Amino acid sequence: MNGLRCLPDPDRVCPAFTVMSEAVLLGMAVSGGQGACFACRAVRTDPSGCPSRSVDLAAGLAAKYGVHRRTVRQAMASAVPPPRKSGQRQFRILDPATGWIDTMLRADLRAPRKQKHTVERIQKRLAEEHDFDLASYSTLRNYVPKRRPEIVAEDREGRQHLEGMVPQEHLPGEEAEVDFADGWVRVAVEVVKCHLFTLRLSHSGKAIHRVFASQAQESFLEGHAEAFRVLGGVPTRHIRYDNLKPAVRQVCTGRNRVESERRTTFRSHYVHVPVGSRSLPTTSVASAAV
């Protein structure tokens, strides 16, 4: 009435069905590797069982529960099954060559993709270089695809870097960083793209922000002037730039840049050490920061 399946009455269960079910469960347990304890319990509690070692009785119980007669004799002798023997790994015909194969697979880690060893080439090299021709192609084909990912994992584990950090120390007022970032503002119900100029002091993290309509040279220089005005001075060492395009006229080799005339005049006015230089430059060529 409540939708649940009713359990059968245990008093009405057929005894033959109980014995058969127990035998089926025992056979399933034995096939799954769990039959030692089940066999001892079933054999020792069987109504027809006794401590006798009769061959007929052992054969009958073995046939009844689907186990070996040796299991029946062990159950008659003791309620605790004997410990399972750990099987010795049988000798594989490929064992003498596994070291050579692993060496070839490790060499493939740094080799171009089309030069990596195939199973056929490994078999050929084993025969030519090591005079080993006992392993068949199918044996190598089963070993190489399983071993190759393991060697890749071992190599990656050996090349993992230790976690760490390089602390950065900046004296107060010594260094600053400048960069532009894109932003969007709403002007009279219209969304307009703008550019956020940021000058940030490396020691304190204090930042000056100004919004411009472009990243032109005028915006670049005006942003510096506003930041210097708010801070009341200029960094004593240098200012680092991610992109110095608005201030340069020509990109030279290495870290060298040829500044524009307006940038040179601006820097001369503020006595500003630019772009990661170690000292005040005497020409219009300044070295760029990374």
Predicted confidence (pLDDT) per residue in 39-69, tens digit: 666 766 666 655 444 556 777 777 777 777 7
Q: Measured between alpha carbons, how far is 144 from 147 in angstroms, rounded to an integer?
A: 5
Domain boundaries, the chain: 11-77, 95-154, 175-287
Using CA atoms, how far residue 235 sits from 150, 169, 173, 175, in Å, is: 54, 15, 5, 5
What are the two backbone dihedrals, phi and then psi, of residue 26, each rounded to the nearest 5 degrees?
-65, -45
Q: Residue 196: which H helix or E strand, with range?
A: strand 190-201
Contact by Cβ (8 Å): 267, 244: no
Q: In this structure, what token pair is assigned to residue 269?
A: 């006015």
pLDDT in tens, the chain (290 residues): 444 444 445 444 444 334 444 444 444 444 444 556 666 667 666 666 554 445 567 777 777 777 777 777 777 777 677 777 766 666 578 888 999 999 999 999 988 888 899 999 999 999 999 999 888 899 999 999 999 999 988 888 766 666 677 888 888 888 899 988 888 888 888 888 999 999 999 888 899 999 998 888 888 889 999 998 888 888 888 888 876 777 777 777 776 777 778 888 887 777 654 433 333 333 333 333 33
Look up residue 74 and give its two tokens. 């062990």
pLDDT at 288: 36
Q: What is d(CA 48, CA 58) in angstroms, rounded to the nearest whole number?
A: 10
Amino acid 160: pLDDT: 66
CA 200 to chain centre: 36
DSSP structure class, residue 271: T
Q: Give the C-alpha separation, 248 to 67, whole Å.
A: 90
* pTM exceeding 0.85: no
In this structure, what token pair is assigned to residue 141? 């084909």
13 CB-side CA count, 13 A: 10
- Pairing outcome for strands 207-212 and 256-259: unpaired
What kind of architecture, by CATH, is found in domain 175-287? 2-Layer Sandwich (3.30)
**The residue to which tokens 């039959």 are assigned:** 35
Cβ-based neighbours of 208, under 8 Å, separated by 6 or more: 198, 199, 200, 226, 227, 230, 231
Q: In terms of Cα–Cα distance, which of 154, 124, 135 is closest to 97? A: 135
DSSP count for the chain of H helices, then E strands: 9, 7
Question: So what's the pLDDT on residue 165?
Answer: 75
CB 213 within 8 A of CB 219: yes
Render pLDDT for 157-178 as a digit per residue (tens, 0 to 9). Answer: 766 666 677 888 888 888 899 9
Q: What is the pLDDT of residue 129?
A: 92
Rounded distance between C-alpha atoms, residue 178 and residue 200, angstroms: 7
Segment 101-106 long-range contacts (CB within 8 Å, at least 24 positions apart) = 101/126, 101/140, 101/143, 101/144, 101/147, 102/147, 102/151, 105/144, 105/147, 105/148, 105/151, 106/151, 106/155
